[in-house]
Structure 1
Amino acid sequence: MEKLKFRNAELADLDKIVAIYNSTVASRMVTADMEEVSVESKLKWFEEHNSQTRPLWVVEDDQNQTIGWVSFSSFHERAAYSGTVEVSIYLDESCRGKGYGKIILQYCIDNAGKFGVKNLVALIFLHNEPSLKLFRYFGFEDWGSLPNVAVLDGVERSLKILGKRID
């Protein structure tokens, strides 16, 4: 497996970040967005990330090609939750199912403490077996379920909350 590079995202990366995100919308497996999003609509989200506490990393291969991105987003805006972040991993379509998710999630676990993170959480649709398998492989446990909270093309879908304590 090739070595991946992680770097802080810059505004110039937002087009690619959004393109990768939008490539997941049609599958109805990853996001509750029903239509593709615009770069403009993700500006506020982009600005909520910072290199000190809430990183947004672009992931590149050894040819400096962007293969995906990963973010730590605030779980909740109230101060008592500041040590808990939601981790989101998105891969370019051509890079899915090749083991990159494992490298990226291991990087997140290994580096979470540097950002004051005590808990990593992932919100994953119950029918998204590949993502559930990935996070459980790294010891994420079931921390909760939200049954039938999303309606995707007329089908109710449940959300699983997986979590891992970072010591």
Structure 2
Amino acid sequence: MSAVAFSEKDQRSLRHRSGEAPTAARKEAKIRDAVEADLPAIIGIYNAAVATRISTAQLEPVTVAGRRDWLSEHSPNRHPFWVAEIDGCVRGWLSFKSFLPRCAYRGTIELSVYVDERFRRRGVARHLLEAGIARAPSLGINAMVGLIFADNESSLRLFERLGFERWGLFPRIARLDDVERDLVVMGRHCTTLKGASS
């Protein structure tokens, strides 16, 4: 896969709009396209999230072998899969995927972001999301959606700080360990379309 091509200018623009200086972790993190050799780290981060019941509806751990096709479905030029690397190790990842299969939704993607629990609250997720927001228009994306459990308050706050709004709520749509969970739809527009506001 080719290297991620979002420019330092894009990053500076995002920092200027947010009014925040980058944290140490954001300065350290190198964002690049994921490769198959990253899968063990990617799956390790994901399976740690599965166990918490906070950020995914997956109930059982997944395997590297079972996720090879999932990784290969991503494309750097349409639906990227990025990792955040710190000191040579994958500490977080972000994926773009189709929101719905109908053609009219081509310009809308769903984002997923996960961070190694030892590196949370250090700006890694924010760095990945900012990079995604910066790249979206050049990928033909005009809307981004994140699906977040209503009790995952830290993720909801992060998305809100980056300009996402609450576009919807699915009440009691998921059941994890006999607990019903609400799902919040967080969204933001990336470009201005004729007849729509960004």
**TM-score class normalised by the smaller sequence:** over 0.9
User: Alpha-carbon deviations, 1:29-50, whole Å to 9, x = none?
Assistant: 0001111111122223212201
Q: Does 1:148 align with 2:165?
A: no
The answer to whether the aligner puts 1:90 opposite 2:114 as a matched pair is yes
Mapping for residues 66-145 of structure 1, pairs under 5 Å: 66-145=90-169
Unaligned runs of 5+ in 1: none
The alpha carbon displacement at 1:156 in A equals 0.1
Give the secondary-structure state (helix, strand or coil) at the position aligned to 1:94. helix
More helix by share: 2
What is the alpha-carbon root mean square deviation over aligned residues? 1.1
Partner Cα distance (1:35, 1:26) in 2: 8
Superposed structure 1 runs of 4+ greater than 3 Å apart: none
TM-score (norm 2): 0.81
Counterpart Cα distance in 1 of 2:100 and 2:92:
25
Output the CA distance in 1 between the equivalents of 2:120 and 2:58.
20
**Gaps in structure 2 of 5+ consecutive residues:** 1-23, 192-198
Moved more, 97-106 or 114-123: 97-106
- Work out whether 1:51 is the aligned partner of 2:50: no
CA distance in 1, matches of 2:69, 2:168: 28
Percentage identity across aligned positions?
43
Q: TM (normalized to structure 1)?
A: 0.95
Which AA in structure 2 matches 1:83?
G
